[in-house]
Structure 1
Amino acid sequence: MSTPYDLPADTSKIKEFEWDDHYDFPRDLVGYGENSFDPKWPGGAKIAVSFVINYEEGAEHTVLNGDMHSETHLWEAPGGAPKIQERAVNIESEYDYGSRSGVWRLFRLFNKFNYKYTLYAVGKAIEDNPAVGLSSVKNGHDVASHAYRWIDYANMPPEQEKAYIKKEIETIAKICGEPPKGWYYGRLSSRSQTLVWEVYKEMGVSLLWDSDSYADDLPYWVDVPAEKNEKDPKGMLMIPYSYDCNDYKFNVPTGFGSPTHFYDHVKNAFDTLYEEGCEGSPKMMTIALHCRCIGKPGRFMALKRIVEYIASKENVWVATRTQIAEHFREKFPYEKGYLAPGVKRAEASNTINAWPAHKAAPV
């Protein structure tokens, strides 16, 4: 299979991948399997719906933040090469729309319906506009971490990344009154999940969930490689995120062509998962939002229609990610080697062409 990326002409000099027992999490290609898993949502709900608002404005790549280039990601006219050491005023003002206008349009909608959202707050962003975090806390919403800067962390040295993680925890705690209980990077490095675990442990702060996974429609536990020698491992609860029902697809060529497309897609996803729940396999659904995307007036009405549609259905639990995590942790506490009690994890080990341990390898 060909790769779409540019590679050096002489690939023999590229260092082969080496598994890291401290940072690398094994893959699980099996999950809960054909019969799924009943999360026993409160009140017998058939589906748990999690609205997530990504608040990134002001924390993106820009020379004003000391970066070498401007942001080109997720705005109304994507593409083009980064402008090195030059302000991209048009992109900056596009992001500013989210923080000045779009965010409050979203907040008013959810407060009107008394639907609690999770705010994925980038630390630098709420430092520049603390009212966003304060309003969320005041109205009983969940403020989680979206890292201190909304940038790529792939090539950042571990100690620098740990310093950013600590600064993010301290920033949210200072502005919102308590540290974030959950974490979502989005643009993480291969070390990020373990580094988050390490910093929370070193600071004595509880990490209830992590969302840097797109692997399932249900929460699940993973073993933390760095805990392998711990006498009392705690594991990490994954609350999967979604690029599927995500308004960022307004800003990519293969995404939503109109607000109607967004509404139809999200409604279809809800109907499918709701039906599965009614048939005995309740699921979780994430609806991911960005202030500068769905916060635009022409798109906003599609979101309003979705909220109204969900409100018309019975046995729906609209919950924050922390509420979902607290429920799952209480009902299904961590057991090493298990996705949930009674459901053993089928990990593909750190070898090439690995085969899940619960199946016989093909002859």
Structure 2
Amino acid sequence: MRSDPGFYDYWPYHERPKLRWPNGARVAFWVAPNIEFYELNPPANPHRKAWPQPSPAVPGYSIRDYGNRVGHMRQMALLDKYGIRGSISLSTALCDHHPEIIELCRERNWEFFSHGIYNTRYTYGMSSEQERDMIRDSMETIHRHTGQKCAGYLAPALSHSEETLDLFAETGTELFGDEGGFYTCDLFHDDQPTPINLRSGKRFVSVPYSLEMNDTIAYVVNKVEPRRYGQMLRDNFDRLYQEGAESGTVMCIPTHNYQVSCPHRLRAFEEALEYITGHSDVWVTTGREIAEYYLQNYYDTARADIQAKNASAAREVQP
């Protein structure tokens, strides 16, 4: 069995080549709204239940429906106010269930990346072909409804297999060449983009996507109050901004329109956005733009540095 996932190498944060964002920005800041569709009665998965309640799980279903009916409009208006283009982690079934949401996001030139088809259907237990088919379906759906060639992936409900990244990268290449399938949000190991090891050797990068700043983790798992969540976002930014003076960092706020957009939580989120975007040396961007910039400007340097450090470490342990 592996001692680690095998997707990336150990690469000390403090000894890397310096990273500089466009116009000298210290922090690349992006917001990732998870716009999802949950089925009331999804097919059963033996590895994980979709709902904690017996069927029909009306409370869980309806609050998520609230997000698509009400919360999305609130969050979209707020991101517009602060000049932020959302990078949508999309349950692609939404293209059929709520095409009006897709159109509103298209009008704003938001990015769409794949979050699977339904957030109630998991990767767990799928064969390689089943997972490949699911990934292909989601990428083709995004392209059909938005014209965008899907670049990024976040596994549905964070359900991941050992082949997920390989399958996504390979499918992206088959569909769109180098313009498709070149970054992941499924790894939470760093505050800078990092090269990812794939069996195909494709140039592929992990873009930081924070579980700690994720509104569902904050509100549901850690039971954080809205005011405290807003302070956490500002504290997180302050540290990344400080370190970004030496080498550029990435801050992501992953949101859910049925969490952060509830009336009693929205002010804390807005105050954090106002604070972060009030700094002039912040690159307000998207997941795709971060990945593209890194691949064009730093990927090769990073690979060379990792290889040099690995070779040096190997020499040190030789008898």
TM-score, structure 1 normalization: 0.78
How far apart, in 1, do the equivalents of 2:187 and 2:308 lie? 16
How far apart, in 2, do the equivalents of 1:293 and 1:191 lie? 31
2:158 matches 1:189: no
Q: What does the per-residue CA deviation read over 1:249-286, in whole Å, with 9 as the maximum and x for residues that have no partner? A: 24434x142111101111101001111122x1221111
Residue aligned with 1:34, SS: helix
Call closer, same or farther: CA 1:100–1:294 in 2, change over 3 Å.
same
Match of 1:246 in 2: 214
Match of 1:300 in 2: 266
Partners of 2:219 and 2:225 within 8 A in 1: no
Q: 1:359: how far off?
A: 6.8
Residue aligned with 2:116, SS: coil
From the CA coordinates, give the structure whose radius of gyration is larger. Answer: 1
2:65 matches 1:102: no
How far apart, in 2, do the equivalents of 1:166 and 1:106 lie? 29
How far apart, in 2, do the equivalents of 1:142 and 1:98 lie? 19
How far apart, in 1, do the equivalents of 2:7 and 2:131 lie? 22
Match of 1:31 in 2: 11
The CA RMSD measured in Å over matched residues stands at: 2.6
Q: 1:234: how far off?
A: 2.6
Residue aligned with 2:190, SS: coil
Match of 2:30 in 1: 50
2:290 matches 1:310: no
Q: 1:51: how far off?
A: 0.8
How far apart, in 1, do the equivalents of 2:49 and 2:7 lie? 35
Residue aligned with 2:14, SS: coil
More helix by share: 2
Partners of 1:119 and 1:142 within 8 A in 2: yes
Match of 1:201 in 2: 173
How far apart, in 2, do the equivalents of 1:263 and 1:287 lie? 11
Call closer, same or farther: CA 1:271–1:33 in 2, change over 3 Å.
closer
Partners of 1:210 and 1:238 within 8 A in 2: yes
2:149 matches 1:179: yes
How far apart, in 2, do the equivalents of 1:118 and 1:296 lie? 20
Q: Which runs of 5+ in 2 are unaligned?
A: none
Q: What does the per-residue CA deviation read over 1:37-88, in whole Å, with 9 as the maximum and x for residues that have no partner? A: 42210000011111110111x2x3531x44479733xxxxxxx4x52xx321
2:211 matches 1:235: no
Partners of 1:70 and 1:87 within 8 A in 2: no
Match of 1:139 in 2: 108
Matched pairs, number = 311
Q: 1:131: how far off?
A: 1.9
Percent identity, aligned pairs only, is 23
Partners of 1:250 and 1:293 within 8 A in 2: no
Q: 1:213: how far off?
A: 0.8
Partners of 1:222 and 1:339 within 8 A in 2: no
Which amino acid counterpart does residue 331 of structure 1 have in structure 2?
Answer: N
How far apart, in 1, do the equivalents of 2:187 and 2:263 lie? 30
Q: What does the per-residue CA deviation read over 1:208-234, in whole Å, with 9 as the maximum and x for residues that have no partner? A: 312211011111112312x2xxxxx43
Residue aligned with 1:298, SS: helix
Partners of 2:34 and 2:256 within 8 A in 1: yes
Match of 2:290 in 1: 324
TM-score, structure 2 normalization: 0.88
Partners of 1:247 and 1:293 within 8 A in 2: yes
Q: What does the per-residue CA deviation read over 1:231-256, in whole Å, with 9 as the maximum and x for residues that have no partner? A: xx433111121101110124434x14
What is the aligned counterpart of 1:210 among 184, 189, 212? 184
Q: 1:193: how far off?
A: 1.1
How far apart, in 2, do the equivalents of 1:345 and 1:148 lie? 41
Match of 1:8 in 2: none
Residue aligned with 1:252, SS: helix
Q: 1:33: how far off?
A: 3.4
2:256 matches 1:284: no
How far apart, in 1, do the equivalents of 2:309 and 2:162 lie? 21
How far apart, in 2, do the equivalents of 1:39 and 1:31 lie? 14
Call closer, same or farther: CA 1:18–1:303 in 2, change over 3 Å.
closer
Q: 1:120: how far off?
A: 0.6
How far apart, in 2, do the equivalents of 1:345 and 1:321 lie? 28
